[in-house]
Amino acid sequence: MSQLKKVINTTQLWSIAVGLVISGEYFGWNYGWETAGTIGFLVSTLIVTVMYVTFIFSYTELTAAIPDAGGTFEYASRAFGSVGGFIAAFATLVDFLLAPPAIAYALGSYTHFLNSAIPVIPVAVGTYFVFIAINVLGIKESARFSLVVTILSVLELVIFMAIIFPFYKTENFLAHNPPTITMDSVFAGIPFAVWFFVAIEGVAMVAEEVKDPHTTIPKAYISGILTLVVLALGVMILSAGVGDWRLLSSIDYPLPETLAMTLGKNSYWAKTFASLGLFGLIASFHCNTISYSRQIFALARAGYLPRFLANVNTRFQTPHWALIVGGLVGFIAIFTGTTSQIIILSVLGAVIMYGISMLSLLVLRTKEPHLHRPFKAPFYPIFPIIAFVLALVCMIAIVYYNQFLGMIFTLGLLLCLGVFYLLRKKNARY
**Is residue 5 one of the residues assigned to a domain?**
no
Across the chain, mean pLDDT equals 87
Q: Which of 76-85, 199-208, 218-227, 333-342 has the lowest mean pLDDT?
A: 333-342
Tell me the CATH number at 184: 1.20.1740.10
pLDDT for the residue numbered 428:
47
* Domain membership of residue 230 as a residue range: 10-427
- Mean predicted confidence (pLDDT) in 66-77: 87
**Is residue 107 one of the residues assigned to a domain?**
yes
- Mean predicted confidence (pLDDT) in 336-359: 87
Q: What is the pTM of this model?
A: 0.85
How many separate domains does the chain show? 1
pLDDT for the residue numbered 342:
85
- Mean predicted confidence (pLDDT) in 245-267: 86
**Is residue 49 one of the residues assigned to a domain?**
yes
Rounded Cα–Cα distance for residues 14 and 283 (Å): 12
Peptide bond connecting 381 to the previous residue in cis, omega within 30 degrees of 0: yes
pLDDT for the residue numbered 154:
92
Which of 147-161, 172-186, 227-241 is modeled with the greatest confidence?
227-241
Rounded Cα–Cα distance for residues 7 and 5 (Å): 6
pLDDT for the residue numbered 425:
54
pLDDT for the residue numbered 206:
81
Of how many residues is the chain composed?
Answer: 430
**Is residue 318 one of the residues assigned to a domain?**
yes
Higher-confidence residue of 76 and 287: namely 76
**Is residue 2 one of the residues assigned to a domain?**
no
Q: In the chain, what percentage of residues exceed pLDDT 70?
A: 95
- Mean predicted confidence (pLDDT) in 376-380: 94
The pLDDT of residue 4 is above 70: no
- Mean predicted confidence (pLDDT) in 237-246: 95
**Is residue 413 one of the residues assigned to a domain?**
yes
The pLDDT of residue 420 is above 80: no
Rounded Cα–Cα distance for residues 121 and 330 (Å): 12
The pLDDT of residue 1 is above 50: no
Higher-confidence residue of 336 and 425: namely 336
pLDDT for the residue numbered 268:
75
- Mean predicted confidence (pLDDT) in 40-46: 95
Q: How confident is the model at residue 50 (pLDDT cuts 50, 70, 90)?
A: very high
**Is residue 165 one of the residues assigned to a domain?**
yes
pLDDT for the residue numbered 283:
82
**Is residue 4 one of the residues assigned to a domain?**
no
